Amino acid sequence: MADFDAIVVGSGMSGGMSAKELTERGLKVLVLERGPEIIPERDYVDNLAPWESPNLDNVAQDEIAERYPKQYGGVAYAIKESNKNFWVRDDEHPYEEAEGTSYDWLRGYHTGGRSIMWSRQVYRLSNLDFNANKTDGYGIDWPIRYEELEPWYEKVETFIGIAGSAEGLPQLPDSVFQPAFELTDAEKALKAKVETTFPERNVIAARVAHLTDATEEQQSLGRSNCQVRNRCHFGCSFKAYFSSLNATLPAAERTGNLTMVHNAIVSSIEYDAETNRVTGVRIVDAETNEKRLYTSKVIFLNASTIASAMILLQSKSVAFPTGLVNRSDQVGRNLMDHVSGAGAAGLISGFDNQKVFGRRPSGGIYIPRYANLNGQDKPYLRGFGFQGGSSPLGNAGGRIAGIGRGFKEAHKNPGPWRVNIGAFGEQLPNPENRVTLHSSKRDRWGNPLALFHVTYSDNEHTMLEEASKDAVAMLEAAGCTDITANDVSLTKPGNRIHEMGSARMGHDPANSVLNSWCQAHDVPNLFITDGSFMTSAACQNPSLTYMAFSARAAHYAADLIADGTL
C-alpha cells in the first residue's frame, strides 16, 4: 500500500499546479520541497520601507563575493539584503561548468521555488512554435499541437490571473485577461510609429501574472489586486502576483488532500522492474541528513529542468543503468534557455510635462516575434521578442550637475523619457548542450554536483546581431534621440532562468523521454511537467506553458488512476 496517491517533487511553478490539480481530483498528494518553508506572513519583506533597509538594501560586497558570486552576477537587480534568503548561496550549492563554457544556474530553494522570484511575464506558445522543429529540422517534432493545449491554457490563466490585452495575433494567442497595465503615452507613441513603419511588428502591453480585477476564486484564496508597488521580488503580502505559494499551494491545501514536507532533497526514485513502475522517492533531510522513503502510485517530477534530469540520472538500476527512463540517452540533453544581450535604449521627446503614478511591475511593452512568421525570410532560424518600456529617466543617484536647492528639487522632476527594449531569442535544441552528473564531486548531502556543458550556435549569434539592428531601427522610427545599443554580448546560458528541454517529449521513445502527456515512454506512472519536457524553446517566457502542461498531465494521470491503469 503506497503512502500517497501521488508524490510531486518540487513546489515551484509547475509543482504547485500539479499539486493543485491532483488534489482537486481527490488524490492524496505529497509535495516534497528541498528547501525550508516560507510563510508569507513571516518571511515576505515587501512591506519594508526604503529607510527600514540599511545600506540601500545592498548585500555587503564581501558577502556577495563569498556567498552569491553566481546568483548576484546573474540577477543583481533582484537580490537585495532583505530578500537574499530567497536565493541559494553559491558556497552551499556549487555546480561545475565544463572547460571553456559557463552557465548561470540561478535559483532559490524554499516553498514556491522560483515562482516567488520570477519576473511574471506570461505568453502562450502557438503552432508556429509547435511546428518549428519539424519545419526546420532542428530537434525532434513536438508530439502535440496548440489546439490540444488551448483549453489547458484557459484553465490555468483563469486561475492564476493575467493582466494583458487581446490582440488577435496568430503567433501569440491571446490569454484569458484581466485589464492590462495601460501603456504610457511615450509607449503609445512608440507603438504608433513602429507599427506604421514596420507593419508586421506589434507593440503590445506586456502580459503579466498580476491581478488587476481579482475574481471571486482568487479572492477566496486571500488574493487581491496589485497595489502597483513593484516590490514583487520581496514577496507580495497582497498575493497579487501569481506564485505557487500565493495561489496553487493554498488551493491544494484547502482540499484537505495535500501533505507538504520541506527540507526533503530527493536523491533517487525507486523503480520496480517487475511491474515497470516507479514506486517511491528516496530523500535526505537537508537539516538532519536523515534518509527516508516515501511511496506513491504516481510520481510527478517538478524539481526544475536541471534538478529533475539529475534525479533521473541519479536513479540507476539494472533496467536503467544510465539513469531512469534514459533509454534514449536524451536525459539531461538539449538544455535550452532564452538568449538576450541585444537591444537598444534612447530618449523620446514630447512627454516632458508628464509623469506616472504608481510603480508598474513587470515591465511595460512586449514586441512579439515577427521574424520568419510566414516562411524563412531572415538570415537566422526562428525568432525573438522584445521586452521593454518607456518611463521617466529620473534624476536619482547624483547623475545631474549642480548643488543646493536646484539639485535637490530636480529629483522631483521626472526628467527625460527613456525607451528601452531587449531581445529574448529562441535557442535551438542541441543534444550536445547538456547537464550531467559530475564524476567525483558531491554536495554536502552526498548527491553529485551538476556539470554543465552549454554553448550557443551560430544561429543565436546571428539572431542577436540582427535583433540589435532591428532595435535601433525601431527606436529611430519612433524618433528617439541619444540611441545607444551596446555591442551584442550574449547572456550566459541559463541567465534568462528559462531552463528547458532536459527530458524532451516526442513521438518516438528512441529519441525522446516523454510522450505528449509528459508521461515517461518507458515508465507509465512517471510524469515530468517542469521545463524538462520542452521539445523546443520558442521565444516566449515559458512558465505559463509549464503550468498548462502540468494541469493537463495531472488530469490525465488522475484519469489513469481512476480507471485502474495506474
**Residue 39 C-beta: closest distance to other proteins, Å:** 22
> Which of 100, 256, 274, 401 is in the footprint of other proteins by CB under 8 A?
401
Which residues, in sequence order, are CB contacts of 370 under 8 Å at separation 6+? 171, 198, 200, 201, 202, 383
Nearer to other proteins, 206 or 534 (CB): 206
321 vs 402 by CB, closer to other proteins? 402
Rounded distance between C-alpha atoms, residue 38 and residue 311, angstroms: 24
Q: How many residues bind other proteins (CB under 8 A)?
A: 48
Among residues 254, 355, 438, 461, the one that binds other proteins under rule CB under 8 A: 355
398 near other proteins, judged by CB under 8 A = yes
Using rule CB under 8 A, residue 318 touches other proteins: no
* Part in contact with other proteins (CB under 8 A); list of ranges 47-55, 281-289, 304-312, 555-563: 47-55
**Would you count residue 412 as binding other proteins (CB under 8 A)?**
yes
CA distance 480 to 524: 56
Question: What is the torsion angle, in degrees rounded to the nearest 10, for the CA atoms of residue 74, residue 75, residue 79 and residue 85?
Answer: -60
In the bound complex, what is the minimum distance in angstroms from residue 212's beta carbon to other proteins?
9
Q: Which grid coordinates belong to 89?
A: 548561496
Q: Minimum CB separation from other proteins for residue 51, in Å?
A: 4
| DSSP structural state of residue 311 | H
Assign 286 to helix, strand or coil: coil
Binding segment toward other proteins, per CB under 8 A, in 195-203, 332-340, 392-400, 473-481: 392-400
> Does 407 engage in binding with other proteins (CB under 8 A)?
yes
Cell 512517471: give the residue.
526
CA distance 250 to 85: 22
Angle, helix 543-562 to helix 146-160, in steps of 10 degrees: 100
Q: Which is nearer to other proteins, 205 or 520 (CB)?
A: 205
| Residue 28 grid cell | 492524496
**CB 229: neighbour CB atoms within 10 A?**
17
408, 441, 442, 469: residue in contact with other proteins (rule CB under 8 A) = 408
C-alpha cell at 479: 524618433
CB closer to other proteins out of 66 and 559: 66
CA quadruple 72, 75, 81, 87: dihedral, nearest 10: -80
Q: Is residue 170 involved in binding other proteins (CB under 8 A)?
A: no
Q: Is 482 in the site for other proteins (CB under 8 A)?
A: no
Q: Nearer to other proteins by C-beta: 79 or 513?
A: 79
What's at 138, amino acid-wise? Y
Give backbone dihedrals phi and psi of 315, rounded to 5 degrees, phi first. Answer: -95, 75
**354 lies in the binding site for other proteins (CB under 8 A):** yes
Among 411, 438, 507, 555, interactor with other proteins by CB under 8 A:
411
Nearer to other proteins among residue 360 and residue 521 (C-beta): 360
Distances (CA, A) of 267 to 15, 95, 520, 527: 17, 16, 19, 17
Longest CA pairwise span in the chain (Å): 81
Closer to other proteins by CB, 4 or 238: give it: 238
What whole-number distance in Å separates Cα of residue 512 and Cα of residue 133?
14
**Smaller CB separation from other proteins, 224 or 317:** 224
Cβ nearer to other proteins, comparing 353 with 439? 353
The residues binding other proteins (CB under 8 A) are 47, 49-51, 53-56, 58-62, 65, 181-185, 187, 227-229, 353-360, 396-405, 407-409, 411-414
